[in-house]
Amino acid sequence: MRVLSFAERGSVREAGSLLRSTAANLARDHARRRRREGEAIVGGLDVDTLLAPSLSPAARLEAEETLARFTAALDSLPPRCRQVFVLRRFENLHQEEIARRLGISRNMVEKHLRTAFRLLRGALR
């Protein structure tokens, strides 16, 4: 869609270059969005932060406690809700694929994800 809308606005001299730059921009946008979503769920906790040797003991303790709360909250989710969340967030499957694999509707996948996000956010507050 981006390439087509650009092409409609003017002439494209190098179609290959346009496609490559559009793909690169989309990949960067996707990576940024995934980072923001992950930060919203885990309260800004980056698991790599736990391994950073320069992290202060207090910051390390806070990060470990946040991770422990997240893990406990994840374990407390209803089984199907947890399964949908893990497939979406950790295995990066699209909602349609999750629905197909689990034999449920896409709307049910969305409902499970909303429930998981609400409960996990609540546990991290």
Give the DSSP per-residue string, the chain.
-HHHHHHHHS--S-HHHHHHHHHHHHHHHHHHHHHHHHHHHTTT--HHHHH-TT--HHHHHHHHHHHHHHHHHHHHS-HHHHHHHHHHHTS---HHHHHHHHT--HHHHHHHHHHHHHHHHHHH-
Which residue do the tokens 């190098």 mark?
14
Class of domain 62-125: mainly alpha
The pLDDT of residue 65: 83
**pLDDT tens for each residue of 57-110:** 787 788 778 888 888 999 999 999 999 999 998 888 999 999 999 999 999 999
Q: State yes or no: pLDDT of 115 exceeds 90.
A: yes
**pLDDT tens for each residue of 25-60:** 777 766 666 555 554 555 454 555 555 667 677 877
The pLDDT of residue 109: 95
> What length does the chain have?
125
Residue 59 tokens, joined? 């910051």
Confidence band of 20 (pLDDT split at 50, 70, 90): confident
Parse the chain into domains and list their residue ranges: 62-125
Between 116 and 2, the more confident residue is: 116
Read off the pTM.
0.58
